[in-house]
Amino acid sequence: MAEPVKDKIEMNSLLVSPDDSSPINDPKTSLHLPSPGTSYGSTLSVGPEASTANLLKIDLEKKISRHTGEERETWGNRAEFLLSLIGYAVGLGNVWRFPYLTQKNGGGAFLIPYAVMLAIEGIPLFYLELAIGQRLRKGAVGAWNQVSPYLQGVGIASAAVSFNLALYYNTIMAWCVLYLVQSFQSPLPWSTCPTHVEGNLTIVNKECQISGPTTYFWYRETLNVAPSINSKSVLNWKLVLALLAAWVVVFLCMVKGIKSSGKVVYFTATFPYVVLVIFFFRGITLHGYQSGLEHLFIPEWKKLADPQVWLDAATQIFYSFGLAFGCLIALASYNPVRSNFVAEAFFVTIADFFTSIFTATVVFCVLGFKATATYEECLRDNNITMSTSDGNGTVTKCDFKTIISESASGTGLAFIAFTEAINQFPVPQLWSVLFFLMLFTLGLDSMFGTLEGALTSINDMMLFPTARKEVVCGIVCGTMFVISLCFATTTGSYVFAMFDSFSANIPLLIIAFIECVAMSYVYGLKRLSLDVEMMVGTRPSYFFMFCWRFVGPVAMVVIFTASIVEKISNGTWYEVWDSSKGFAVMSPWPGWCQVVAALMILSSILWIPGVAIAKYFRLISWKEEVASYFPEEELIEERSIEPHEDTVIEKYLLGFK
């Protein structure tokens, strides 16, 4: 096989530069063979049938390598990129938030608005961010600076939101570490209430008697929660150590950038699916599982008329895919220019959709088992055979729907409801280890993407120009660990709730709105269409362009307006642990917390107008950023792209000029 290739190259020797270090600039006369080891993105093979077109492709890869080999890493292969996207999109929200929203918003009926929002919001924005990253080959800060220097603040805002999210998201992983370590005990520490001896009597802890062992273990043993956010704050040293362990694991996995995290995702992105399948087959053998599935999937069609249902669907799509964090742009920036990111966008978003449904199925099999056991115990304790009503339609005792609804919300779903169900399993230690290891790997995957968005922006801005990437990663992780100690206190769960409620939602809506408007009206859909055609060989459909230019921005304005109206009309509340009642009650946020929440929101979005004003009036001397190399002429020739004649729709509706 080698000799014919050699002969072909010799026959074309007049077309090849004699000095490999000084290649001829004309792509038609620069036919160098690639170095050993084809990079990800190449579909080429050199053999006796090699054509001039194939040799042009080979030379294109060498040109890209010369220009960008030391500037930007690339994924080891397509599988690493795909698994990183799946790991980033499929996270802890799939385990507790989606099942809760589904049962809250009409069961199976909720899947209709969820699917609609997936089509008009989720897939188009996911597609757009991957296109931006792969075309401009920079993180969010550098990419938006390339679109327009006045938009660099959008990238900084995305990095700020990613930073805030990573701060409190890793706290969930710290909780998982605590539960995982204690899962090896027999019996499980949350299976019984603590006792103490007084004389000849063994006294059971009163608070635990009222709340139940799993709830007591969560609020008292794990969080050691204070009565309110206004209470004196004291460090919880168990949580401090767990938080340190979580940040060390994240640092070790990301210390080499995508070269290390790209390998870790082979385990972290696939292991949760293995555990979910195991739990599914275990779940459908549990007594009462069918009641949980009925509660989840039987539609309440009247819910479709409630605007809040559509708002919840849109919000869940938004956060589930991690849109507007800058993380997708950062992950795609490490792609070769010919990678078919469109296929990845469709695969990951649809996979996330069905993963959410499958996860909800598994969760409600377990919750159906737990609720059935509680329901039957209630019937026995009250010596009745069915739930009773007061005659006005209000259930007063043993209502199954009330029991299962109270089990499915927020962090309590994983750390209270699931642990209570696991207590009933044979060999509960095994199921506990599997479950919390699954939660940890889900969180770890999402942390890779979230933190990569912040780290890539720091590297692109050259905030530490002489420091190695390992050092920068260590500085960032160390700084974030110190700041996140505020979550490892007796009031830490309340601070966590504040971050979760305010740090991301409004900033992300604003950032995503600007993304759509900027790419449609500043960068231009005509230019974007050509970029996509050069990278993947086909232009984006009218559907996507209409979503970017019209549907997406309108949907985000509606979501933003509805969110503000909801907060103004209903106020802002958080859950406070009431030890005397044995459950959490709702309490309004204090005034100073609302001020902190406002500052948290402004700390992200003020970068957008701030940077634009500073650049317009030249208040700061900004170093001019060099655009990453993109072989536009070579790709046009390689794909034989002809000049495009604009249609009437493109001219008058999509703004082609």
Nearest to 484 by CA among 63, 218, 165, 53: 165
Q: Are 52 and 27 in contact (CB under 8 A)?
A: no
**Residues facing residue 587 across a β-bridge:** 574
Q: What share of the chain is helix, strand, coil (3-state, %, to 5)?
A: 65, 5, 30
Write out 201-247 in H/E/C secondary structure: EEEECHHHHHHCHHHHHHHHHHCCCCCCCCCCCCECHHHHHHHHHHH
Q: Which H helix or E strand runs over 396?
A: strand 395-397
Would you state the structure tokens that stand for residue 68, as one six-digit string? 């960008």
- Euclidean distance between CA atoms 449 and 328, whole angstroms: 7
- SS3 for 325? coil
**Residues facing residue 575 across a β-bridge:** 586
- Euclidean distance between CA atoms 81 and 341, whole angstroms: 10
Would you state the structure tokens that stand for residue 55, as one six-digit string? 């040799």
Backbone angles phi, psi at 137, to 5 degrees: 55, 40
**Residues facing residue 588 across a β-bridge:** 573
Annotated ligand binding at 87? The verdict is yes
Give the count of beta carbons closer than 10 Å to the beta carbon of residue 101. Answer: 22
Annotated ligand binding at 89? The verdict is yes
Orientation of helix 271-283 relative to helix 341-381, angle to 10°: 30
Q: What are the C-alpha distances in Å from 607 to residues 154, 446, 549? A: 7, 25, 24
Amino acid at 500: D
CA atoms within 13 A on the CB side of 646: 15
Annotated ligand binding at 320? The verdict is yes
DSSP string, 36-98: SSPPTT-----STT--HHHHHHHHHHHHHHHHHTTT----SSHHHHHHHHHHHHS-HHHHHHH
* 187 prior amide bond cis, ω within 30: yes
Burial class (CB in 10 A: 0-12, 13-18, 19+), 617: exposed
Q: Are 375 and 415 in contact (CB under 8 A)?
A: no
Would you state the structure tokens that stand for residue 1, as one six-digit string? 């096989």
Annotated ligand binding at 446? The verdict is yes
For tokens 């109206």, name the residue.
Answer: 565
Amino acid at 86: I
Would you state the structure tokens that stand for residue 389, as one six-digit string? 């009503």
Backbone angles phi, psi at 8, to 5 degrees: -65, -40
DSSP string, 140-192: HHHHHHHH-GGGHHHHHHHHHHHHHHHHHHHHHHHHHHHHHHHTTSSS-TTSS
Q: Which H helix or E strand runs over 307?
A: helix 307-320
Distance in Å from the first CA to the final CA of the chain: 50
Sign for the pseudo-dihedral over CA of 265, 267, 272, 276 = positive
Residues in binding site: 87, 89-90, 94, 320, 442, 445-446
Residues in binding site for Na(+): 87, 89-90, 94, 320, 442, 445-446
